[in-house]
Structure 1
């Protein structure tokens, strides 16, 4: 299983150890893998693959391949479109209800 552990090293801290999973999580949960989360963060900020890759290089974090980013971008775009359509429909229903009242 691909993962790494980040341990808080401050002696004043409680010694909490957290694990960040880098592989795909169980799809039955609402959690998403790190690649999808990174792509989802990139889209609304207006940055693309090259900017993400550069940012991760500065942090010394290996970044996903361009093909993987494209697949994640397609998945994220699909979710964004569905969510936007649902929001528009709900707003229309609310506006219609207010107009009738």
Structure 2
């Protein structure tokens, strides 16, 4: 109507995210996956993203989010360290003492019975800043490994996320003691 022509580029140069990456990020943020993105694209009469493209975008986003998360956690830890030093809260070796809040959770949890979650998560938050110092996930299950085991075969080469064995109820303790590497003093 305005007789103007606009050029829209869906793959800009540099580190910017493409339209495909943004679509995958939005899909993940809403708790959906590739099949839901396909349905949504079809309803808008947009070309449907292939599984291969979706996975490639997902991997790139995962690496980017992990990098940003680590940078953010390192900055938060530096703030907590500086606050402890400014208050002269150090041990006999000059190591800053910081207060943290640690909590963990696991899925498929019921009360008084059936603590059989296959994965759990934990976070360590600096008490002074309220910022995340550590975030971790423990998994007792890998679909690729389980399928190979059922077929009595060696699993194909894959990125295995199984990093925990033991009772689900111990996931909290494993995070706090193993990750920090120091004994925690709990105040209740």
Q: Are 2:46 and 1:56 aligned?
A: no
Shift of 1:52: 1.0
Q: Are 2:93 and 1:83 aligned?
A: no
Task: Using CA pairs under 8 Å that are at least 6 residues apart, name the structure with larger relative contact order, 1 or 2.
Answer: 1
TM-score (norm. length: structure 1): 0.72
Q: Are 2:81 and 1:99 aligned?
A: no
Q: Are 2:5 and 1:20 aligned?
A: no
Task: Tell me the alpha carbon deviations over residues 34-55 of structure 1, each in whole angstroms, 9 at most, x when there is no partner.
Answer: 1112112222222111111111
Unaligned runs of 5+ in 2: 87-188
TM-score (norm. length: structure 2): 0.41
Aligned to 1:3: none
> Aligned Cα RMSD in Å?
1.9
Q: Distance in 2 between matches of 1:48 and 1:66?
A: 10
- Choose between structure 1 and 2: higher helix proportion: 1
* Secondary structure of 1:79 counterpart: helix
* Secondary structure of 1:86 counterpart: helix
Give the number of equivalent residue pairs: 86
Pick aligned residue for 1:33 from 18, 39, 49: 18
Unaligned runs of 5+ in 1: 1-8
Q: Are 2:42 and 1:42 aligned?
A: no
Which 4+ stretches in 1 moved above 6 angstroms?
none
